Structure 1
Amino acid sequence: MPGLYFDELMVGQMFDHPLRRTVTEMDNVLFSSLTHNPALLHLDEEYCRTETEFGQRLVNSAFTLGLMVGISVGDTTLGTAVANLGWDEVRFPHPVFHGDTIRVETEVLELRESRSRPHAGIVTFQHRAYNQQGKLVAICKRSGLQLKRPQAVRA
């Protein structure tokens, strides 16, 4: 499924992404290991069971952020993004655990013509991720440089 061009997006547009993903222990351990994050909260089940309020390991929040944005790509930016410009106001209001199934929704917050690239515009998205109980587990604003439709560039 291709992404949308800058001129196909509207402020207030909502996407309820059909892709969902159940997070596994392997996802968490592999991601934490690959990114050199040795936090006991992600890797030590016994520590989490006896020493934390959660009683189990937490999924690495950087994985959650990447998953949230990744789920959105097919509907929004696949093949039409020039570059990701940044993430702002990243929050994790509820932890993600092994076995949680994540769904994501995206809202277009802002559209702005690029001053330096006439073939593109800047889009600000807000992504929200929820677990299977409907609890908000992650939220962020993401800005990206998005291509305009090819015919819009020629006009």
Structure 2
Amino acid sequence: MVEDDTPSRQLLVRRLSHAGWQVLDAPDGPSALEIVATHALSGILLDMGLPGMNGLEVLQRIRQNSTPLSLPIIMVTAFDERDYLVEALSKGANDFVSKPVDFSALKARLKAHLDLAETSKILSNLQARQELILRGANDGIWELDVQSGRLNHSQRWLDLLQYSGPQI
């Protein structure tokens, strides 16, 4: 949670903690970047209107090393900052909530993005395992994804077919 207004930050930290999440908080952009660099985070709530380094700058720095699927970022914005939301979304923000924060909406959005990130992580791990199995097997393994028409296969399968042309 990155929020420069101490009472607002403390309230959200308390409510998120009571909802079962472990929460780290930062009052400004540089502190937030330090936390991102030193902790494995699941998601970030990022205030747009931070002093010095604003939320867009923090977002851009974080997105240099993490994707929206690997680290969801929800922007927290005051009404007069809505013009920046399109820019924030185009720079990799996953979503936004407006101040004053409707906590039930925040919880639902945060849970949805965290669940999506976890599902993406599981899928990436499964794909990596499948690729490892295909490379490591000494059998001619192939699989056709009927929906996409994509053929996955081991090199051994091509060898058994005595195929040496361009990629299938």
Question: Normalising by structure 1, what TM-score?
Answer: 0.22
The structure with more radius of gyration: 2
Structure having greater relative contact order (Cα 8 Å, sep ≥ 6): 1
Between structures 1 and 2, the one with greater strand share: 1
The TM-score, its normalising length taken from structure 2, stands at 0.21
User: Per residue, is there more helix in 1 or in 2?
Assistant: 2
